Structure 1
Amino acid sequence: MFTLSLHRATLLSLAAIAFSGCATAPPSDFKGLNPSKDHYTITATALDEHTIKATTVYRPANGVCSEDTEAFDWRVSRQAAELDREKPTSANEYSFKSPLSIHILGCQLNAAHSHLGLELREGQGGTHRTQDMYFFPKSEMPAREGRHESLRSVNQTRLCSHTFYIPRLGSKVRRFINCFNAEKDAGGYSPAFVFEDLKDKTIHYTFSRVAEDTPSSPRSWLKTPDGYRPCVNREFNSYCQDPPELKQFEMNGQQCDIYPGCTLPEGLD
């Protein structure tokens, strides 16, 4: 046994537990982390074609682990524990149960923030976006009281839309999602909650689609009444010419002519 250095204690503050579902009790992956029985729950309603993963980051309860705590294996402090998702009521409903704290060889770490990652299902060709929520000791919350009241609500609504593009050296369409708080006055801040009040609390996120998909570079696509058609890339730019020269692209394993419908309506070419 040796004394835990302040440097390694600081590294401990980065310990994270990753969740991809919900279970009534922690799995064997928590062995050695000693999760608390007290917990909070995050539920979410996802968009069609999307899945959700969740991560909780734990930090030392007193800011840093005491130097006289028992030494620990750094690899254990970074262990990712994936939980099975409870049987949902629908394909778009998700639930995640997160322990309020974990204990690593004499050091208590409390939940500091959780992340929800929204991403397109496998094969859809897209990137993910993360929504964050933060947990602060009651003594630190007054400094945040001036922010919009929606940032303290357990019911969070995000309005989302997709942007699509074709990489210059590729042919597969890619999409990424943009989400913003339904309460415009909330600005770009993330919701924050009092840690001492988290026990048995449920925080719910609703993701809603509010607009049609749009190209990241509108001048590279020809907009038609039925959707968007990509123009052929030129040596120095990919903008549509007059008249436009159009090309096919790959989407969901198919060769397509138009986004998002893939196949042109009868009579068009």
Structure 2
Amino acid sequence: MKSSNKTKLGRILLCSSLLGLSLSACSSPSSLIGESFTLEGELPANFSLKAQAHYGVANGCDGGRRQAKSFESGFQDDKQQYRFTIPVSYRDGLCEMRLARVGLFIHGRYGDKDWQQTYDNGGLEIVDKLPEGAPGFDANGILTRQAECTWWFQQSTAKSRLGEISKLLNCNGTGAHLAANELPGKVVRLGFRVNPEETPSYDRRWIETAAGWKPCQETELSERCQTPPVFKTFKMNGRECTVYPNCTE
């Protein structure tokens, strides 16, 4: 082999070696990309959960912007198990995207009409350090939380269904703090249950009796119950009712 050819070959091998080192150095941070955690649990019948994961640029690359990924269970007539695999990080071109928070939307339906659905919010906050007293993952890498949802009933003020029973959803215990450096590979187990006792959405507009809840007639000065109370009727699924939830006494 001529010396000039040997020189060229040496240069090629040297460049290939340097290129390999360069690619290795550039790709080492990407070994973190693709990590995820699992959000799972049980939903009551006629409930659906939507998780919206929000991401921000972590490596300061130009042109990067906040992004979101959504996961949703859908409604079922019976209780159901849900399971979402949520990325902790991923690449978008040259940008490294890191999970910032997960918004939760708990949907419930109490009838077959479009307006007989509502929701409440929750969220998983991603932090560098857990707040004092906040629970962490156990030895098996699981964080278990139990949320409770209560239906708040009221008389609708919408013209199309004036006086008809409508409901709001109020859920407690639907949040958690998660340490960012502990999150990959872990499981957040968030279950939901429904409080069997429904309550009015406003205080002092309904009075509970042995037969159930009865709505008070408002006056010119107040919508609250007076002494002595004067009761009124309401509508429920097209029926004229005097007591909730049984309609009639």
Which TM-score bucket, shorter chain as reference?
Answer: 0.5 to 0.7
CA distance in 1, matches of 2:134, 2:179: 15
CA distance in 2, matches of 1:179, 1:150: 22
Is 1:113 aligned with 2:101? yes
Is 1:195 aligned with 2:177? no
What pairs up with 1:1-269 in 2 under 5 angstroms? 37-62=34-59, 65-66=60-61, 69=62, 71=63, 78=67, 81-83=69-71, 85=73, 91-121=79-109, 123=113, 125=116, 127-136=118-127, 140-141=128-129, 144-149=130-135, 154-168=143-157, 170-181=162-173, 190-210=175-195, 212-241=197-226, 242=228, 244-250=230-236, 253-257=237-241, 258-261=243-246, 263-264=247-248, 268=249
Deviation at 1:190, TM superposition (A): 4.3
Q: Which has the larger radius of gyration?
A: 2
| TM-score, scaled relative to structure 1 | 0.63
In structure 1, stretches of 5+ residues that fail to align are 1-35, 182-188
Are the aligned partners of 2:206 and 2:215 in contact in 1 as well (CA < 8 Å)?
yes
112-121 vs 147-156, greater mean Cα deviation: 147-156
In structure 2, stretches of 5+ residues that fail to align are 1-32
Deviation at 1:218, TM superposition (A): 3.6
> What secondary structure, in the 3-state scheme, does the structure 2 residue paired with 1:238 have?
coil
Amino acid at match of 1:146: E
Structure with higher RCO (Cα < 8 A, 6+ apart):
1
CA distance in 2, matches of 1:162, 1:85: 21
* Count of paired positions: 204
Structure ranking higher in strand proportion: 2
